[in-house]
C-alpha cells in the first residue's frame, strides 16, 4: 500500500507519524512523508528592491526548515525499520497535499488533527477537513490523546 503522511512542525503531526509507524506501516509499505512549504504573500506595494531580498531570504529559510523537518521524520522512520521517501511543494497546504496525493498515486493519506474547535476552524480553516473532502484517496486523521 502506498501511504503518505502529511506533516508540519506541530506536535499533532509528529504524533500522527509515530502512530502510523506503530499501527499501520510495515517494512513492505511504500511511505512518502510530505510537508508543504507555505507561500509568503505580501502586497506588491510593500515589495520594493529593499524588501525583495528580505522576502527571498525568508522563503529560503522556510525551505531549509521544511527540509530539516522532513529529514528528521525520515530518521524517525528509519528507527522503526521503515524506508521512506520525502516530498515537498510550495503552496497552500490543503491544496498541495491533495495535489501530491494525486501526483504520487497515494492509496491512504494520514495526517494529524490540530484539535481546533468550530470557531477556530471557521476563521483558520481546517487542512484535514479540506483533504477529507478533496483528496482522491481515503484520509485517516489522527488526534493526539489529551
- Residue 146 is predicted with a pLDDT of 78
Helix, strand, coil shares, percent, the chain, to 5 = 50, 20, 30
- Residue 123 is predicted with a pLDDT of 44
C-alpha–C-alpha distance, residues 46 and 101, integer Å: 35
Q: Mind listing the pLDDT tens digit for each residue in 37-47? A: 987 765 555 55
- Residue 118 is predicted with a pLDDT of 52
Give me the CATH number covering residue 121. 3.40.50.620
Q: Mind listing the pLDDT tens digit for each residue in 105-130? A: 999 999 998 765 555 444 445 899 89
Q: Mind listing the pLDDT tens digit for each residue in 48-94? A: 566 677 777 888 889 999 999 999 999 999 999 999 999 999 999 99
Q: Mind listing the pLDDT tens digit for each residue in 81-101? A: 999 999 999 999 999 999 999
Cβ neighbours for 39, distance < 8 A, ≥ 6 positions apart: 90, 91, 92
- Residue 122 is predicted with a pLDDT of 46
Helices in the chain by DSSP H: which ranges?
Answer: 11-23, 49-79, 93-103, 118-124, 127-134
- Residue 66 is predicted with a pLDDT of 95
Cβ neighbours for 111, distance < 8 A, ≥ 6 positions apart: 5, 6, 7, 13, 16, 97, 127, 128, 131, 139, 140, 141, 142
Percent of the chain exceeding pLDDT 90 equals 64
Domain count, the chain: 1
Give the domain range for residue 46.
Answer: 2-142
- Residue 116 is predicted with a pLDDT of 55
Amino acid at each position: 500500500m502506498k501511504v503518505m503522511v502529511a506533516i508540519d512542525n506541530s506536535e499533532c503531526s509528529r504524533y500522527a507519524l509515530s502512530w502510523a509507524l506503530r499501527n499501520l506501516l510495515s517494512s513492505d509499505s511504500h511511505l512518502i512523508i510530505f510537508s508543504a512549504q507555505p507561500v509568503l504573500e505580501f502586497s506588491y506595494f510593500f515589495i520594493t528592491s529593499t524588501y525583495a531580498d528580505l522576502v527571498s531570504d525568508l522563503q529560503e529559510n522556510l525551505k531549509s526548515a521544511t527540509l530539516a523537518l522532513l529529514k528528521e521524520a525520515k530518521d524517525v522512520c528509519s528507527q522503526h525499520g521503515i524506508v521512506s521517501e520525502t516530498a515537498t511543494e510550495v503552496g497552500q497546504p490543503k491544496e498541495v497535499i491533495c495535489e501530491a496525493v494525486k501526483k504520487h498515486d497515494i492509496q491512504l493519506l494520514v495526517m494529524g488533527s490540530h484539535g481546533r474547535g468550530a470557531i477556530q476552524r471557521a476563521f483558520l480553516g481546517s487542512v484535514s477537513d479540506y483533504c477529507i473532502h478533496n483528496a482522491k484517496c481515503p484520509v485517516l486523521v489522527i488526534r493526539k490523546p489529551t
